[in-house]
Amino acid sequence: MADVKKPVVCVVGTGGTIASRYDAALGGHVSAATAQDLVAAMPEIQDVADIRVVEHSNINSALMSTGTAFALRDTLRAVLRDDDVTGVVVTHGTATLEETAYLMDLTVGGDKPVVFTGAQRNADEKDADGPRNLLCATMVAADPAARGRGVLVALGSEIHAARDVTKINPEILTCFGARDCGPVGSVTRQGVSFFMMPQRRLQLEVDQVKENVHIIRMGQGGNDLLFRACVSARVDGIVVEATGGGNVNLPFYQGVCAALDAGIPVVAALRLPSGAPHPGKGYPGSYQSLIAKGALSSGYLSGIKARILLMVALGHTAERSQLLEIFAEAGGG
């Protein structure tokens, strides 16, 4: 009997804890291992797929710039254009993985699987979780059922959608959760199982992103200092993480009004771990007053994801009507 041809999966390395080793001169761990090193640390991966390796970057993800993250879009497109490639695994630091993954979900396009993974333990630790996570992510990328589901995150045996995934703990191995739902699938040694199809996905064709977008979180008694700084600097956009169902105090409301009057797009989001903004209160600073003034609604997107969407959307259009449609489609609520 002829040998069954294995799928081809490309592992694209960007750095992170999964690639980190101790540096005595710096007194801590830094990204050092290459993607090829990571593949070599898990020989079983060769049983799943024929592996190709691309080195995109090698940095801890707190240091990931918007430019480096957006350039990954072109790296992935180049890899995915090869008809022989079944899917891609991206190794990434978990600190900002959810942001890069959503940026790729919005901009890469196509049906081939793109699966992000990382680790909570450094590559040089005896019980490092990176090799197993890489194996599981490769299993997902090689699985025909993963096609058409957008960018996925596979870590700690769970599979999450890029739009909803968020890091919930800096220590535990299952460090990611989903903001308003659960995992979309599971992966174990026995195989890959999907439970649901990711929803509210969209793809925007852009040549650039507007990266000067800032998040301002509402705290009790907060003032408009950061808004005034943003208006003075003529930033590209602002995301406000509001209290409760999307409400802010009077100084914050005045700050939002000043930004909108200056032509700066503002998105109303929540500082809560789940849910969407909703009307109900009637005072200046209420969610409905922000929307009436011209703010966009994040819907069920977190402030972090709303920032990524605004950065991409502004690279696509400056028309408020189109921005409203984009946020309604992606955020819901």
The separation between CA 326 and the C-alpha centre of its own chain, rounded to angstroms, equals: 17
Residue written as token pair 């590209």: 236
Planar angle of CA 125, 129, 132, nearest 5 degrees: 130
Amino acid at 65: S
pLDDT given for residue 3 in this prediction: 64
Would residue 17 show up in a list of annotated catalytic residues for this protein? Answer: yes
pLDDT given for residue 82 in this prediction: 97
Contact assessment for residue 17 and residue 29, using Cβ atoms and an 8 Å cutoff:
yes
pLDDT given for residue 5 in this prediction: 87
| 178-237: pLDDT as tens digits | 999 999 999 988 899 999 999 999 999 999 999 999 999 999 999 999 999 999 999 999
Residues of the chain falling short of pLDDT 70: 1-3
Looking at 17, 107, 117, 166, which residue is catalytic? 17
| Of residues 179, 225, 215, the one with CA closest to residue 199 | 179
| 127-159: pLDDT as tens digits | 999 999 999 999 999 999 999 999 999 999 999
pLDDT given for residue 1 in this prediction: 43
pTM metric for this prediction: 0.96
CA–CA separation, 46 vs 160, rounded Å?
Answer: 24
pLDDT given for residue 4 in this prediction: 73
Amino acid at 33: A
